[in-house]
Amino acid sequence: MRILLVALALLASVARTNAQACCCTSAGGSYSILPNIDEHIIGLRYTHSNWSSTTYPTMNMNMGGENMSMMSGGLPTVENMNTLDLFGRFALPKRFYVSAFLPVHILQESYTGSNTRVAGLGDASLLLQYAVIDPKKCTGHISKHQLRLGAGIKAPTGKFSMTPDGMFTTDLQLGTGSWDFMFNAIYTYRYKQFGFNLMASYKKNLTNADQFRFGDKIRGGPEAFYIVKLPESVSIMPKIGTHYEYAFYNINAGEKLTFTGGQNLYADAGFDIYYKNLAFSMAVSPTLYNVYNWIGEPFEHYSIETGIYYSFSKIIKHKKSSQNEKQL
C-alpha cells in the first residue's frame, strides 16, 4: 500500500509540473507582414487563445509519521490566455530594422471548484533584422522580392516562480524566468496584387535561476495574400495560410521531462485594412492537428489576433521637406 501511495505521489508531481507547458513562452511572435506600411511603425496587438487540459489536484496526508501527497481524479480544465503587446519597428541605416515587444498577460484557469487569474507584465523582447533582399516596402513594381533575417533576445521581465521541490507555485506563469534567444527569416514575393510569404523561426531557451528550462521551439509556414485597392486611399488585404510548431522537452535540474513538448499544425485566416498611415489587422488560427508526449498536455483550440498600427515615416519625411522648403 505504501509503495502505491509513493507511486501516486510521483505521478501527481508529474501532472503538476507538466501543466506549465502552455505558459506564455513565445515572444516577438507572428505579426502581419504589413507590406503597405513604411519603415517606422508603432502599434498595439491583442491576442486571445483558448486551451483545455486535465488538472490532477493533490491532497496531503500523514502516513506513519511521513507526509505524503495523493492525487485525486482528473478534472477538465479550461485556460484562457489574453495578451496585449506594445510593438514598435524602426528602420536603421544599412538595411537594418529593430523591433521591440512589451507584453502584458491576463491568464485564467478554471475547473470544478477553482478559478485562478494571474495578470502582469510578460517577457520583453528585442529583435534586429537585416534586409538581405529589397530593404524597402513590398510595393511599387509588378514583381518584387523581400528577404529579412533576424536575431533577438528576450529578457525575463515576467514573473516566474517555483518551490524548492521543483513544483510551480502556479500553473499560470507570466514569463520563463530566463534570458532566451530568437532567430527568424521571412521571405515575401509579390506579383501585382497577389503575393505570399514564408516564415521560419527558432527560439532558444536558457536555464533560469530555478534550474528549469523550457523546451526550444521551432515554427514555420506559408501565407498567401491579395491586395484589393479601394477609393479614398483604402486597401484590404485578405490572407490565408498555415503554420507548424514543434516544442522540445522541458528540462528541470538537468533532467529531461519526457512528458512535455509536442507538435501542432494550425490554419491561419485573416485580413489587413490600410488607410493612409493606419493599419488594422485581424486573424484567427484554429488547431488542425496535434501530437503530444502526454495525454494531459494542455491542448490549444484556437487563437484570435487583432492589432492596430500607425506609421510615422511619411510624417517625418514631410516635416523634413517642409523645413528644407522654408530654408530655400
Tell me: pLDDT of 74 over 80. Answer: no
**253 to 19, 22, 168, 212, 320: CA distances (angstroms):** 17, 20, 13, 6, 56
Q: How far apart are CA 306 and CA 80, in angstroms?
A: 16
pLDDT of residue 21: 46
Residue range 95-111, pLDDT digits in tens: 898 999 999 999 998 87
Tell me: pLDDT of 1 over 60. Answer: no
Q: Is there a contact between 312 and 33 (Cβ–Cβ < 8 Å)?
A: no
Q: Which three cell numbers stand for residue 301?
A: 483550440
pLDDT of residue 169: 53
Tell me: pLDDT of 290 over 50. Answer: yes
Tell me: pLDDT of 317 over 70. Answer: no
Average pLDDT over residues 292-309: 85
Cα-Cα-Cα-Cα dihedral of 257, 161, 110, 57, to 10°? 60
At residue 88 the predicted structure's pLDDT band, cuts being 50, 70 and 90, is very high
Global confidence as pTM: 0.80
Q: Where are the domains of the chain?
A: 2-55+73-327
- What mean pLDDT value characterizes the chain? 80
What does the DSSP assignment read for 227-285? -EEETTTEEEEEEEEEEEEEEPPEEETTEEETTS-EEEEEEEEEEEEEETTEEEEEEEE
pLDDT of residue 57: 61
What is the Cα gyration radius of the chain?
Answer: 23
Tell me: pLDDT of 30 over 70. Answer: no
Q: Name the pairing type of β-strands 125-133 and 114-121.
A: unpaired
Q: How many C-alpha atoms does 209 have within 13 Å on its Cβ side?
A: 8
At residue 63 the predicted structure's pLDDT band, cuts being 50, 70 and 90, is low
Residue for cell digits 529589397?
A: 134
Tell me: pLDDT of 296 over 80. Answer: no
Tell me: pLDDT of 191 over 50. Answer: yes
Q: How far apart are CA 133 and CA 148, in angstroms?
A: 7
pLDDT of residue 67: 59
The number of residues making up the chain comes to 328
CATH 2.40.128.130 fits 2-55+73-327, yes or no: yes
